[in-house]
Amino acid sequence: MKRISLSPKTQLIAVLSVFGAVAAAMVATSGNAAGTSSAAQYQYGAPVNTGVPVVSGTAAVGSTLTTTNGTWTSSSAVTYSYQWVSCDANGAACVDIAGANASTYKVASTDSGRRLRANVDAKNSVGTTETQSAPTAAVTQPANKLLQAADVKLPNRLIVDKVTYSANPIRSRTTPTQMKVHVSDSFGNSVQGSSVYAIGVPYSRIGVMPEVTTDATGWATLSITAGQKFPRTGYLVLFVRARVPGQDVLGGTSTRRLVQVTIGAPTG
């Protein structure tokens, strides 16, 4: 075989051509691998949301809202978790509502005027994706509604708004006088389950009255009995307190008020 002799310049050009072909092949292979990896990542990644959660129910204090999970695509089984948030009048500047981690949420008095959203987390074996519902309408506060004491939370407060007596003026020193105390919240709703306590001022004028609980109409009934220093005439001043059971008697949503009843000349 006849050997072909190449000049140094021709040999250099040949070597560069080989390196160029190899580099081109590597680039092509790298591109195919990247495409395959990207497709695998999409196919086997965290859940992908295809439809946001929908909240149903009336946006009013005391009502219960419910959210759907929304719709998702996922390569493996999905579990869901929830967080309700309270937002401003535009449905923005949202903050988490403590303890509101179920698919349902009972609207509290503190939500009045706010708009609510449900955050839903979808989790599979790869990762977690979060999405959010549209905001509800602004929460309204129905008037003249019965609330449970435990549902009255700051900045809402308990209010002792009405006090009545079975006798006014009080004349009898032997027959107890029934004192009825009505408890509402800051929006005028009657409150059931509030603890009510009353004591005479000064202390020695009437007998000790135990703490009682408001009924399904918001009223609590106490019994005033004449004490050793019950006045002959004038006024009886009473300190009245309403509180949510379990809360600090000096804090929370509790309220205090001084009231008075007239004392008439005794009749027996």
| Whole-structure pTM value | 0.55
Give the pLDDT confidence of 23-62 residue by residue, as tens digits: 444 434 443 333 333 334 445 799 999 999 999 999 998 8
For 8-46, b/e burial (b = at least 16 CB within 10 A) is: eeeeeeeeeeeeeeeeeeeeeeeeeeeeeeeeeeeeeeb
In a domain, 167, yes or no: yes
Name every residue whose Cβ is closer than 8 Å to that of residue 66 and which is 6 or more positions away in sequence.
55, 56, 57, 103, 104
- At residue 17, the pLDDT reads 52
Name every residue whose Cβ is closer than 8 Å to that of residue 184 and which is 6 or more positions away in sequence.
158, 159, 161, 190, 191, 218
Give percent above pLDDT 70 in the chain. Answer: 83
Q: How many domains, the chain?
A: 2
Residue 123's CATH number: 2.60.40.2700
In a domain, 16, yes or no: no
In a domain, 84, yes or no: yes
Q: Which of 97, 132, 167 is the last residue of a domain?
A: 132
In a domain, 59, yes or no: yes
Which range marks the domain in which residue 185 is found? 147-263
Q: Which of 100, 132, 164 is the last residue of a domain?
A: 132
Give the pLDDT confidence of 95-120 residue by residue, as tens digits: 999 999 999 999 988 898 999 999 99
Give the pLDDT confidence of 210-230 residue by residue, as tens digits: 999 999 999 999 999 999 889
Q: Do residues 197 and 247 share a domain?
A: yes
